[in-house]
């Protein structure tokens, strides 16, 4: 426990120390990922400093249907140094096996992010940020026990755009620590993550997320949850507004230490039609639809699940930059 408190203190002290640095607000050679929009799978930097989007998603799986509404997602520039980021999301899970109860899920996150002085490492310039974040996750239903967590994080994030691959590679590293208010047990969480996104050329993109969370809250007792998710996709633009994109996605989560195997695996291969239409310079609508084939496997001490089959996905939304 003393070690965890030292880590919490170190991250907090480091965050406070970063505020005393002389700020360099001049734009460097790198492209900041949080100041742009994604159109037809490709990132486009924009000069507007604020973004708001709302969209609905329909995920028809072999075992259940998921209806998801992201009420609000985006960022708001407060000053030259501070940003306010937000995401408000609601999901409805409708089980096809009527013996299983339906459920609804909240997944919300707000954060204050401060830009610090850029760091020069080798030949690369790294954007360096301090953030304070609140995450709320809740699952409830008529026939299931309600569970919820509120995570209060403080941490650091560095990111850069490296000359790896034909079109370059975006790299982001994040470390955070904080307290957790759980519906079953209060505690704390330590989180580290590494995200990469590469343009390999000829419309091929490859992204990876590596994440590890040390959990001591609710039903988790000093457990490490590790996650790796990889996405490989190719995009062929049909015209200014339409594109075709086959995708291959794989995700695995593992809990350590456990005496028995404890993991969850998802694998999806699909082909999608993408749509993006600018209504004016700041407002656009976007969509995605297509079939896929899913494989899901999970195992724990008292549970084993395996399911595969065809699925369908659709998304429709609107985005405003200002």
Band (11; pLDDT cuts 50, 70, 90) = very low
Question: Looking at per-residue confidence, does 271 or 301 come out higher?
Answer: 271
Query: How much is the pLDDT for 101?
Result: 92
Query: How much is the pLDDT for 283?
Result: 98
Domain total of the chain: 1
Query: How much is the pLDDT for 259?
Result: 58
**Rounded average pLDDT over 151-170:** 94
pLDDT, tens only, 125-151: 999 999 999 999 999 988 888 899 999
pLDDT, tens only, 41-77: 999 999 999 999 999 999 999 999 999 999 999 999 9
**Rounded average pLDDT over 262-278:** 97
Q: What range defines the domain where residue 207 resides?
A: 2-321
Question: Looking at per-residue confidence, does 314 or 142 come out higher?
Answer: 314
HEC sequence for the chain:
CHHHHHHHHHHHHHHHHHHCCCCCCCCCCCCCCCCEEEECCEEEECCCCCEEEEEEEEEECCCEEEEEEEEEEEEEECCCCEEEEEEEEEEEEEECCCCCCCEEEEEEEEEEEEECCCEEECCEEEEEEEEEEEEEEEEEECCEEEEEEEEEEEEEEEEEEECCCCCCEEEEEEEEEEEEEECCCCEEEEEEEEEEEEEEECCEEEEEEEEEEEEECCCCCCEEEEEEEEEEEECEECCCCEEEEEEEEEEEEEEECCCCCCEEEEEEEEEEEEEEEECCCCEEEEEEEEEEEEEEEEECCCCEEEEEEEEEEEEEEEEEEC
Query: How much is the pLDDT for 178?
Result: 98
Band (111; pLDDT cuts 50, 70, 90) = very high
**Rounded average pLDDT over 211-237:** 96
**Rounded average pLDDT over 214-242:** 96
Q: Best-predicted range by mean pLDDT among 78-87, 114-123, 242-251?
A: 242-251
- Say if pTM beats, i.e. exceeds, 0.85: yes
Minimum mean pLDDT range among 114-118, 163-167, 246-250, 257-261: 257-261
Query: How much is the pLDDT for 28?
Result: 42
Domain containing residue 44: CATH number: 2.40.160
Query: How much is the pLDDT for 304?
Result: 86
């Amino acid at each position: 426990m003393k070690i965890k408190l030292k880590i919490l203190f170190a991250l907090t002290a480091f965050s406070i120390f970063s505020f005393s640095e002389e700020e360099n607000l001049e734009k460097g050679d790198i492209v900041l990922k949080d100041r742009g929009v994604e159109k037809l799978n490709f990132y486009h930097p924009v000069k507007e400093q604020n973004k708001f989007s709302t969209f609905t998603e329909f995920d028809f799986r072999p075992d259940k249907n998921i209806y998801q509404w992201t009420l609000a997602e985006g960022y708001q520039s407060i000053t030259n140094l501070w940003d306010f980021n937000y995401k408000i999301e609601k999901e409805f899970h409708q089980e096809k096996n009527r013996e299983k109860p339906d459920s609804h899920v909240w997944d919300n996150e707000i954060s204050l992010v401060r830009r610090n002085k850029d760091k020069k490492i080798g030949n690369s310039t790294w954007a360096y940020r301090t953030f304070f974040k609140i995450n709320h996750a809740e699952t409830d239903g008529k026939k299931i026990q309600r569970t919820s967590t509120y995570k209060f994080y403080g941490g650091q994030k560095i990111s850069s755009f490296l000359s790896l691959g034909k079109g370059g590679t975006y790299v982001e590293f994040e470390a955070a620590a904080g307290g957790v208010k759980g519906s079953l047990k209060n505690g704390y969480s330590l989180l580290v993550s590494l995200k990469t996104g590469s343009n390999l050329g000829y419309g091929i993109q490859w992204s990876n997320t590596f994440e590890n969370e040390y959990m001591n809250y609710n039903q988790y007792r000093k457990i490490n949850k590790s996650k790796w998710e990889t996405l490989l996709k190719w995009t062929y633009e049909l015209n200014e507004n339409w594109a075709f994109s086959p995708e291959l996605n794989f995700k695995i989560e593992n809990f350590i230490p456990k005496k028995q195997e404890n993991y969850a695996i998802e694998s999806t291969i699909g082909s999608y039609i993408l749509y993006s239409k600018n209504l004016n310079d700041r407002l656009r609508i976007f969509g995605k639809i297509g079939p896929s084939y899913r494989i899901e496997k999970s195992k724990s001490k008292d549970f084993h699940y395996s399911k595969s089959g065809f699925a369908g996905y659709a998304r429709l939304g609107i985005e405003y930059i200002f």
